[in-house]
Amino acid sequence: MKKRIFLFDNLKFLLIMTVVVGHCVYYMTGNSNIMKSIFIFIYSFHMPLFIYLSGLFHSDHNVKERCLLFIFLGYIMKAVLYLIKAVLFHKADFSLLSDAGVPWYMFALAMFVACSYFLRNIDTRKIFILSVILACIVGYDKSVGDYLYLSRFVVFYPFYLLGQMTDPELLLRLHKNRSLKILSFAGIAVWAVLCVWKLDILYFLRPLFTGRHSFAGSSALEAYGPLCRLFCILAAIAIGLFLICLVPDRELPFITDAGRHTLQVYFWHRAIIYFMEYLKLDKILSGFAAGKILWLLFGVILTVILSTKFFEFPVANIQRSFLPAKSRKEIPSQKRSC
């Protein structure tokens, strides 16, 4: 087996932490500008970069098994979240072919893998250009939304294709470039400052960063939607590259190992947050600054806890059922680097 590249495991842990923290932040965006800034900062890159990494390790092997695995996990997540919402809030909806919540990623990932497999004999660069064009104009079609997860599939597929076209060795060479590290640190800092300083301008891009909304309802997006979407895509690519350059490429205590188990964190975290919502913890903590910090720390701690072996069930069991042991490395949560 070739030497493991720790960079990607460390990066995946960082990304799953931003996913959890981002879902926590969502609850406080209604009355806090700083939470709005954090939300925009996180959502500008976390899912695009996650999907990019999935594309980076795309494989044409065991396509049927992996797609079935992702779809099965998606429906298990749907069922779990439905039951939890029904029990806690006595109000829950279940849709067989659409979802606005976290399960969308499982279904979209199955579509990414299947689509790339069926288009494998076509120049990926040409498909990428077409996918970017579609992503930029799809907002004009109001019928493309959560149904069949189409909006997010169209909007985020360019990142999967970009990952397919990238040589991992190129990323490693870029990672070792000290000048690029300085530029990356400056770029992340500038973007963070803009998310605070120009929040009134950037926050209207929130529907575009989530990938599921049309341009309807906003005169600015109806006029300049494709350019705004292109800006979001380019921003995600730039910030993603900056993070790749800054994340350490060495084995880190707990973090590197946890980065191999991101799928179980994704599976369980929303259910735990729903329980915290039921306890009204978000409302209790939103009233004072220290409470907001504690709420953010809760997201970080939750990521750490859910990364432990105790929460492997049922994800690890389902993976073993669908994929042979030698193929489990191909799925994003437990992928071994090439």
Structure tokens given for 306? 């859910």
Provide the pLDDT for residue 3.
66
Model pLDDT for residues 176-214, shown as the tens digit of each residue: 999 999 999 999 999 999 999 999 999 999 999 999 999
Model pLDDT for residues 17-58, shown as the tens digit of each residue: 999 999 999 999 998 999 999 999 999 999 999 999 999 999
Q: Specify the amino acid at residue 178.
A: R
Dihedral sign, Cα of residue 67, residue 68, residue 73, residue 74: positive
Question: How many Å is the Cα radius of gyration of the chain?
Answer: 19
Cβ(30)–Cβ(292) below 8 Å: no
Nearest to 237 by CA among 159, 153, 183, 130: 159
Residue 218 backbone class (left: φ over 0; alpha: ψ -120 to 50; beta: rest):
beta
Q: CA–CA separation, 90 vs 84, rounded Å?
A: 9
Share of the chain above pLDDT 90, in %: 89
Quickly count: other Cβ atoms within 10 Å of residue 173's Cβ: 11
E strands present in 164-241:
none
Which residues are bridge partners to 98 per DSSP?
Answer: 147
Provide the pLDDT for residue 100.
87
Terminal CA-CA length for the chain: 9
Tell me, what DSSP letter sits at residue 90? Answer: S
Mean pLDDT score across all residues of the chain = 93
Q: CA–CA separation, 185 vs 34, rounded Å?
A: 21
Model pLDDT for residues 282-308, shown as the tens digit of each residue: 999 998 999 999 999 999 999 999 999
Cβ(218)–Cβ(142) below 8 Å: no
Q: What is the pTM of this model?
A: 0.94
pLDDT reading at 217 higher than 90: no
Higher per-residue confidence, 333 vs 215: 215
Provide the pLDDT for residue 328.
52
Label residue 330 by pLDDT band (50, 70, 90): very low
Q: CA–CA separation, 54 vs 184, rounded Å?
A: 22
